[in-house]
Structure 1
Amino acid sequence: MGIRSFKIWIMLAMALAALLFANVCSATQSNSSAVEKDPDSIAEMVQKSINSTRRELAYLSCGTGNPIDDCWRCDPNWQNNRKRLADCAIGFGRNAIGGKNGRFYVVTDPGDYDAVNPRPGTLRHAVIQTEPLWIIFQRSMVIQLKEELIMNSFKTIDGRGVNVHIANGPCITVQYVTNIIIHGIHIHDCKPAGNAMVRDSPTHYGWRTMCDGDGVSIFGGSHIWVDHCSLSRCADGLIDAIMGSTAITISNNHFAHHNEVMLLGHSDSYTQDVNMQVTIAFNHFGAGLVQRMPRCRHGYFHVVNNDYTHWEMYAIGGSANPTINSQGNRYLAPINPFAKEVTKREDFNPSEWEHWNWRSEGDLMLNGAFFTPSGAGASSSYAKASSLGARPSSMVGALTGNAGVLGCKTGSHC
């Protein structure tokens, strides 16, 4: 370090110490009687002052240990630095940049008037554009779509700072496109629709058969990141990824009140899904869930540092020889004595699944929960299913404590 740099660091350290001393002295004078009764309050005030100063220093630490949140949430000026989010992805979907390289598009109208000729200012008009776009919302709104929302490549849907619901109609389709970020959206009560013309770009529209009513349907998509969304009560899956989809991260979401939560892999016979790679990290699988958290086929799946507090049948299932790497999760089994097992193989013949590579490493099993491992544990297989370093399961509460849509407000930390 040069003399100039050293002097700058000394000046910063002295300024920080002066600020800390002033804060503590002020607090001590105004609370002198309390301090006399409780000397430990001095240490408490010092700690509060240190924490306050750390928050002012922005990106040093948010204290959660969640690498995604600690990357951007410390910034009190996040609303003017929205695109920083695109640098914070982890896992197999870490290269999803969404609309980082495009302009902002502000959704001003919650309506969905015409699926073939969408009105400017609506979400449908935004997502079909060919250029990269970072899509934000002028105000809180409930968007009830008439037909499925077919996204074009290089788009970010960013609901931070307002309260946005996509609900009570068909929901989001990510089909044969790439680089999609969906963040901070409530997605619920999604329903089938179709047998209608729907536009998917400014120059093309076509006939769509009935969709299943998924919350987010990923069909042949790649470099997809779904983060800090709240999903519940859809007709089919909350998030499904099929037909060769890969490079996906599903993180920091809250799932609740649903049967078949997440399907990853089209069918046992669709072997193109052998290259699928999905990271499922820091999510809270909450009240009223039954099964498929996720249900996997063929590919490589890293299930890491999630909080499973509810399942009525099982948490993780699969068929067709997927590799499942479960690390640092917290599994709280239901009261039901017949649903203590975390895992379920769709082929019940052990001779079929005993070679599938499924492992539990560092998971916390509560209330009788147990994970049935299988396979020889080939290091090459688990290397392909490892997308980030797992934190200890004792940290799951802190890592997932803010799962789902955040209450971000302008001018303060999110």
Structure 2
Amino acid sequence: MRAGIQLAVVAGLLGLALSTPAGAEARDIGRETLAPDDGWAAADGGTTGGSAADDAHVFTVTDRAGLVRALDGGSDTPKIIKIAGTIDANTDDDGDRLDCADYATDGYSLQKYLAAYDPRTWGSAKPSGPQEEARRASAARQAERVVLPVGSNTTIVGLGDSTNTAVLKGASLRVKDADNVIIRNLDIRDAYDCFPVWQPNSGGLGDFKTAYDNIWLSGATHVWVDHVTLSDKGHPDEKEPTYFGRNYLRHDGLLDITNASDLVTVSWSRLSGHDKAMLIGSSDSATGDRGKLRVTLHHNAFESLVQRAPRVRFGQVHLYNNRYVVPDDAHDYRYSIGVGTESAIHAENNAFTTPGHVEVADLVKSWNGSALHQSGSLFNGYPVDLLAIYNAYNSGSERDLTADVGWTPTLHGTIDSAARADKEVARGAGSGRIP
């Protein structure tokens, strides 16, 4: 910085001008908007985020306090927020680090909570009483710090490249009932829940439920998520202990799209190292989602995920040119594409790489779904028909899926072969890799 200032002073004394080469303007990704054919988020007027922001509403932030001020409580004022360096949401107003003990209140402790609701003595009733009340109060204290509301007409971008990418740690970006939002070039990691709740009847055996997604779209429309990296980096759930015979999960989804969200494009992003990665549609009974949840997923890397890449209910989802990688040691892998109630997934030219114990039929699971369009799929380098293999493998145990999903995508760029997309996504997906 000092050398740059000195150079500018010398140039001024010599009457020289320092500028970019003629015809080459410095790129400002904060002003960039979604291309007119780039998926569902390009429909009905497109997605421009905060590109119209005046200079007073362009911010460069380096800590949580600055980010909170820039977000302005989720206001609809056009704004561009540029994140530099690493921002930790689990910090106080002075920037000092907060841990789970700092949020705990009203006598909450994990040991007391586990003792109070041990199924052997508590049974299968929903937790209630002093320790559950203390857990809720403690959780509310953490939520005040880590849940960051994103309002309409907002662009959030990270500064830097792959060697010094911007990081948002411990936060949950919540785009609720907002329209026209862009999130790009950012590593969002470890939305860590200090206070999971025990649900005795979940899944039949009980389970721990967590509160925070890295990004949660709830009733959001016209959203573009691009070149974002999403993970649990720092606190992988696989290293958490087991209580009541269940993994003590600390993370919810990486990117969930629910509650009638609509017109969303997720492109060139990397989702990795997680259990339930992406949920589109929150429940089978949410019939208000009909006609909504129109989502395009293209050129994304889904790596080391257990399930939900994505799991879809109701929505028309265009899934093309994505790269799926299941690592050799992934013995807990469940599925990649979840075909849920009234879902209409149009999957084209996606590439899957798996170890020997994962078969083609494992890639798709039906959750009361009825249809899946697929074409151009590659499995470990070989062309496969996901639909035909799914139906053959599951014959007699689940109803067959038909190929007619009732719609054909029209908003998309060039759809490459799965082999070419596999290589390009490996090189280009994730934060710090905008070309």
TM-score of the alignment, normalized to the shorter chain, above 0.5? yes
**Letter matched to residue 132 of structure 1:** P
Change in Cα spacing, 1:290 to 1:57, as seen in structure 2 (3 Å) is farther
Q: Does 1:290 align with 2:271?
A: no
Tell me the SS of whatever aligns to 1:184: strand
Which residue of 68, 77, 80 corresponds with 2:26? 77
1:290-329 to 2 correspondences below 5 Å: 290-310=306-326, 312-329=333-350
Change in Cα spacing, 1:184 to 1:338, as seen in structure 2 (3 Å) is same
**Letter matched to residue 176 of structure 2:** Q
Tell me, in whole angstroms, the C-alpha distance in 2 between the residues paired with 1:190 and 1:313: 22
- Partner residue, 1:261: 277
**Letter matched to residue 27 of structure 2:** W
Tell me, in whole angstroms, the C-alpha distance in 2 between the residues paired with 1:382 and 1:264: 18
Q: Does 1:238 align with 2:254?
A: yes
Q: Does 1:134 align with 2:80?
A: yes
Question: What displacement does 1:147 show?
Answer: 3.0
Q: Does 1:279 align with 2:292?
A: no
Question: What displacement does 1:313 show?
Answer: 1.6
Question: What displacement does 1:165 show?
Answer: 1.4
- Partner residue, 1:92: 40
Change in Cα spacing, 1:222 to 1:258, as seen in structure 2 (3 Å) is same
Q: How many residues align?
A: 302
- Partner residue, 1:372: 387
**Letter matched to residue 81 of structure 2:** I
Tell me, in whole angstroms, the C-alpha distance in 1 between the residues paired with 2:22 and 2:211: 47
- Partner residue, 2:203: none
**Alpha-carbon contact 2:61-2:82 (below 8 Å) kept:** no
**Alpha-carbon contact 2:30-2:156 (below 8 Å) kept:** no
Q: Does 1:363 align with 2:363?
A: no
Which residue of 422, 429, 435 corresponds with 1:397? 422
Question: What displacement does 1:340 show?
Answer: 4.9
Tell me, in whole angstroms, the C-alpha distance in 1 between the residues paired with 2:88 and 2:41: 27
Tell me, in whole angstroms, the C-alpha distance in 1 between the residues paired with 2:289 and 2:213: 19
Superimposed CA distance per residue, residues 42-93 of structure 1 (whole angstroms, 9 cap, x where no aligned partner): xxxxxxxxxxxxxx999xxxxxxxxxxxxxxxx87323x6413444771001
Change in Cα spacing, 1:124 to 1:193, as seen in structure 2 (3 Å) is farther
Tell me, in whole angstroms, the C-alpha distance in 2 between the residues paired with 1:190 and 1:133: 24
Tell me the SS of whatever aligns to 2:387: coil
**Alpha-carbon contact 1:300-1:324 (below 8 Å) kept:** yes
> Superposition RMSD on alpha carbons, in Å?
2.9
Q: Does 1:101 align with 2:100?
A: no
Tell me the SS of whatever aligns to 2:155: strand
1:149-228 to 2 correspondences below 5 Å: 149-161=148-160, 163-167=165-169, 169-192=170-193, 212-228=211-227
Question: What displacement does 1:386 show?
Answer: 5.0
Change in Cα spacing, 1:245 to 1:305, as seen in structure 2 (3 Å) is same
- Partner residue, 1:406: 432
Tell me, in whole angstroms, the C-alpha distance in 1 between the residues paired with 2:194 and 2:51: 31
Tell me, in whole angstroms, the C-alpha distance in 1 between the residues paired with 2:309 and 2:357: 18
Tell me, in whole angstroms, the C-alpha distance in 2 between the residues paired with 1:329 and 1:57: 41
Any stretches of 5+ residues in structure 1 without a counterpart? 1-55, 59-74, 113-121, 195-209, 348-352, 409-413
**Letter matched to residue 88 of structure 2:** I
Tell me, in whole angstroms, the C-alpha distance in 1 between the residues paired with 2:313 and 2:415: 23
Please give the TM-score of this superposition, normalised by the length of structure 2. 0.63
Which residue of 378, 387, 392 corresponds with 2:411? 387
Question: What displacement does 1:269 show?
Answer: 0.7
Tell me, in whole angstroms, the C-alpha distance in 1 between the residues paired with 2:36 and 2:187: 21
Q: Does 1:344 align with 2:295?
A: no
1:241-252 to 2 correspondences below 5 Å: 241-252=257-268
Change in Cα spacing, 1:405 to 1:107, as seen in structure 2 (3 Å) is same
Among all aligned residue pairs of Structure 1 and Structure 2, give the percentage whose two residues are the same amino acid.
Answer: 24
Change in Cα spacing, 1:260 to 1:131, as seen in structure 2 (3 Å) is same
Tell me the SS of whatever aligns to 2:306: strand
Question: What displacement does 1:163 show?
Answer: 2.8
Change in Cα spacing, 1:330 to 1:96, as seen in structure 2 (3 Å) is same
Tell me, in whole angstroms, the C-alpha distance in 1 between the residues paired with 2:86 and 2:217: 24
Change in Cα spacing, 1:341 to 1:386, as seen in structure 2 (3 Å) is farther
Superimposed CA distance per residue, residues 331-372 of structure 1 (whole angstroms, 9 cap, x where no aligned partner): 12333246752200124xxxxx4xx22021112122787623
**Alpha-carbon contact 2:297-2:320 (below 8 Å) kept:** yes
Change in Cα spacing, 1:191 to 1:339, as seen in structure 2 (3 Å) is farther
Tell me the SS of whatever aligns to 1:399: helix
Question: What displacement does 1:136 show?
Answer: 1.3
Please give the TM-score of this superposition, normalised by the length of structure 1. 0.66
Question: What displacement does 1:270 show?
Answer: 0.5
Tell me, in whole angstroms, the C-alpha distance in 2 between the residues paired with 1:193 and 1:246: 31
Tell me the SS of whatever aligns to 1:406: coil
Tell me, in whole angstroms, the C-alpha distance in 1 between the residues paired with 2:22 and 2:312: 42
**Alpha-carbon contact 1:297-1:322 (below 8 Å) kept:** yes
